[in-house]
Amino acid sequence: MKLIDTNVDQLPRHAPEQMATTAEHYGYKKAMTSFKSSFALAMIAGVFIGLAFIFYITVTTGSQDTPWGLARLVGGLAFSIGLVLIVICGGELFTSTVLSSVARASKRISNRQLIACWSRVYLGNFIGALVLVALVVGAKLYLLDGGQWGANALLIAQHKLHHSFGQAVALGVLCNMLVCLGIWMTFSSDDVLTKAILVILPVALFVSTGFEHCVANMFMVPLAISIKATASPEFWANSGLAANAFNDLTISHFLINNLLPVTLGNIIGGALFVGMSYWGIYRRPALQTKSTLIHPIKNKKGINAMKNNTVLKVSEFMHTPAASLTPNSTLMEALTAMLKFHTSGLPVVNESNRVVGFISEHDLLKSLWVNEYEMDKQKHVGDVMRHEVATVSPDDCLLELAEYISIDKDKVYPVNSGGYMLSYKIESLEERLAKADVNRPKLFPVVQDGLLVGLISRQDIMYAFYKDFGGKDDWLHSKVSHQAA
């Protein structure tokens, strides 16, 4: 029997296990956002990161007499405004979007959805950055401080093009480890001010130390290329720089020697080093098939549990799901299906018919309560469903399942692994049973080879007992099999 731990939702929000679950939902929502909304938010994020670099250039211009580390710290703190704006105001940033690898690892999205999400956000960030470049060049901000602002921008950009390919990848890895750790920390809180504070120092660290961020470079290097192409002779004279000293500032040099390796590094640092590391530690154990948590039934008195030496199996009494939902199903569709088929819950499957969640009438009622009993048309089943699902196999013993949903044997027989009693209070079996109730699902998806093949409810189990006791009315099975208590 495959029983996935459902206690993670009971953990405090700041618990690492719960943060990993939040990261999975975060990645899933990014992948499920419509192209139009995602692309628009990505353009906004590209602008925000560009504005952050404008702030960095401004506060570091003319800082030659300031200690190197202090000047870089001030610049890094200034740059953090970009991620703060994205976190608070909203935006889709490629370097944090790569955390959707967590949702892919949990099989909540497909490879195609993952790549489509990354691609549209990456393109949107680039276009947003280029729009801001056009505005900055049009406003001739490079003439600030007698052209020193522009000179600072040129030198910063040129430095980025002089890394070797391997060095640029490594700097990209280090950068996005920090960006994604900053975003990951925001999963611990719902407070806006707390979220803003949490991302400041990771950003300040990566910027001040010179790590490479692909979206920042989408603004910074094209800005320098544009300044070089449009600046007047007066600018070069006032800045003290020679135009031919920046002949390496070209689009092809930028794309091949900087943007490509930095992007690869950002993906590795965020998607793998942060996302997959925490997924492997916290989410994978919860999603893996676990060994049975149910003790085999030893006592067969009172019910003919073995007929011809054959154990009663789930497959004999499970029923075909009257309906199933997908994460993209609307809440109204879920409500309609539950009422139409008289069921208290429905499995949620992906395009491959693999169970990715479960939604109950309780989940729907909670969602309605949050919205003051108004149907939120922006929410889908994937937003409110339970992601930790207890499933059974067709070959599982029916009596073990019956025991699991009704009794906590550790409370009935309080002994440790060595067989020693943990409680010395003398109580009858009935007294111990009264304290051994458990709150476990009423309806279990039946899964074979990872695919949904049926459902089994408490009433299906009751029908199995009814038949074993000699019940003969087929009408009862017809009614029970299509109903979940």
**What's the confidence (pLDDT) of residue 408?**
64
* CA–CA gap between residue 246 and residue 219 (Å, rounded): 17
Dist CA 296 CA 293 (whole Å): 10
CA 13/CA 195 separation, integer angstroms: 13
| Rounded Cα distance, 28 and 240, in Å | 51
Is the pTM of the predicted complex or chain greater than 0.75? no
φ, ψ for residue 92, nearest 5 deg: -110, 110
Q: Please report, for the chain, how many H helices and E strands are present, in that order.
A: 24, 6
Contact 218, 259 (CB under 8 A): yes
Going by C-alpha positions, the residue among 441, 333, 313 that lies closest to residue 382 is 333
Report residue 2 as tokens.
Answer: 């495959």
* Residue 396 Cα to chain centre, angstroms: 32
Cα 403 to Cα 2, 390, 394, 398, 400: the distances in Å are 15, 15, 17, 9, 5
Residue 18 CB partners (closer than 8 Å, separation 6+): 8, 9, 11, 12
Virtual CA dihedral for 169, 173, 176, 177, nearest 10 degrees? 180
Cα–Cα distance measured from residue 275 to residue 187, given in angstroms and rounded to the nearest whole number: 13
- The 10s digit of each residue's pLDDT in 21-38 is 889 989 988 998 889 999
Q: Are 379 and 331 in contact (CB under 8 A)?
A: yes
What distance in Å separates the CA atoms of residue 176 and residue 157, rounded to the nearest whole number?
19
Nearest to 50 by CA among 232, 217, 237: 217
pLDDT at residue 13, rounded to an integer: 56
The pLDDT assigned to 321 comes to 82
Residues of the chain short of pLDDT 50, as ranges, are: 1-10, 289-309, 416-422, 424, 477, 479-485
Domain positions in the chain are: 7-287, 306-480
For residue 277, give the amino acid letter: S
Residue 304 near residue 38, CB atoms below 8 Å: no
- How is residue 103 annotated by DSSP? H
- Distance linking the first and last C-alpha atoms of the chain: 21
How far apart CA 374 and CA 327 sit, in angstroms, is: 20
**How confident is the model at residue 292, as a pLDDT?**
33
CATH annotation of 7-287: 1.20.1080.10
Q: What is the C-alpha separation between 456 and 321, in angstroms, rounded?
A: 9
What is the assigned CATH class of domain 306-480?
Answer: alpha beta
